[in-house]
Amino acid sequence: MNCIIVDDEATARAIVEQLCSKISDLNIIDSFSNAMEAIKFLNQNTVDVIFLDIHMPGFTGIDFIQTLKNPPRIVLTTSDTDFAIEAYEYEPIVDYLVKPITQDRFEKSIIKIKKALKNSAKTVESKTLQSTNTEEDIYINIDRRLIKLKLNEILVVEAKGDYIDVKTIQKTYRVHNTLKSIKEKLPESTFLQIHRSFIINFTKIIDIEDNSVLIEKNVIPISRSNRPELMRRLNLL
């Protein structure tokens, strides 16, 4: 595994480097004293994991994570014990190490990283297989039954608490799932999230007026942040 270290304190970077040196299959590619230098590096290079300090002057660790388009696995290293719960809201974060970091605790973190990387590889393989075999279909789980839907018949997907409503030309299916999960399975060439609660098949749009779109008889709101991308996708005269 290849890694980088991002921490504004030289002593902290040296400690993490020492911890890494005792892991035989962990290679330190570089270390950085600020997030901007690390971003420049990652624009040209890829790594498996980043050991990242949260509190850095000018540009915090969380700012850094939000800037990355395709972040690798991240282990936060910090003296702040109050941030752990919030930290796990960010998908790339696999562990939270509180300074001073012991070798034993560090090795447990490495196990988590390896497990996360292994699961990611399986997910990519599964998605590749699904896209190869069912490019025009998607299966939804309704009362332990798998129902096949044609993608071109899906009009709108709406978040409903712990469920989503998948609206097709014929009927609406309620599925125990998240909007984020189904978004990952729908092709970007046809589907677009235009509101925090709605994904639409934008090829089915009949009309756009003010801050809403009309699809069949469904009037769907467009959020201000998503409107520019919708306009970009449409073939405007």
- From the list 116, 119, 117, 131, the residue with the least C-alpha distance to 184 is 131
Could you report the per-residue pLDDT of 208-227, keeping only the tens digit for each? Answer: 888 899 998 899 999 988 88
DSSP 101: P
- Tell whether 80 and 155 lie within a shared domain: no
Other CB atoms within 10 A of residue 79 CB: 12
Give the integer Cα–Cα distance in Å for 191 and 205. Answer: 11
Looking at 131, 148, 176, the residue that finishes a domain is 131
pLDDT of residue 213: 93
The band of 131, judged by pLDDT with boundaries at 50, 70 and 90, is: very low
Could you report the per-residue pLDDT of 55-108, keeping only the tens digit for each? Answer: 888 888 888 888 887 889 999 998 887 776 666 678 889 999 998 999 999 999
- Tell whether 109 and 146 lie within a shared domain: no
Whether 226 and 234 have beta carbons less than 8 Å apart is answered as: no
Supply 211's token pair: 């801050």
pLDDT of residue 17: 96
pLDDT over 70 percentage in the chain: 89
- Tell whether 122 and 181 lie within a shared domain: no
The per-residue b/e assignment along 81-91, b for 16 or more CB within 10 angstroms, e otherwise, is: eebeeebeeee
At 221, the amino acid letter reads: P
pLDDT of residue 85: 66
- Tell whether 106 and 154 lie within a shared domain: no
Least confident of 95-109, 111-125, 178-192, 195-209: 111-125
- Tell whether 15 and 96 lie within a shared domain: yes
- Tell whether 120 and 155 lie within a shared domain: no
Q: Residue 232 belongs to what H/E stretch?
A: helix 227-233
**CATH assignment at residue 118:** 3.40.50.2300
- Tell whether 120 and 197 lie within a shared domain: no
Whether 146 has a pLDDT exceeding 60, the answer reads: yes
- Tell whether 113 and 66 lie within a shared domain: yes
- Tell whether 10 and 126 lie within a shared domain: yes
Looking at 131, 153, 173, the residue that finishes a domain is 131
What are the two backbone dihedrals, phi and then psi, of residue 116, each rounded to the nearest 5 degrees? -65, -40
Per the structure, the count of domains in the chain is: 2
- Find the mean pLDDT for residues 143-150: 83
pTM: 0.53
Q: Is the dihedral of CA 120, 201, 221, 159 positive or negative?
A: negative
Q: Residue 105 belongs to what H/E stretch?
A: helix 103-133
- Tell whether 151 and 118 lie within a shared domain: no
Q: Is the dihedral of CA 204, 207, 211, 217 positive or negative?
A: negative
Other CB atoms within 10 A of residue 48 CB: 18
**CATH assignment at residue 165:** 2.40.50.1020
Could you report the per-residue pLDDT of 112-127, keeping only the tens digit for each? Answer: 999 988 877 655 444 5
Looking at 101, 131, 161, the residue that finishes a domain is 131
- Tell whether 99 and 199 lie within a shared domain: no
Full domain range(s) for residue 10 = 2-131
- Tell whether 10 and 120 lie within a shared domain: yes
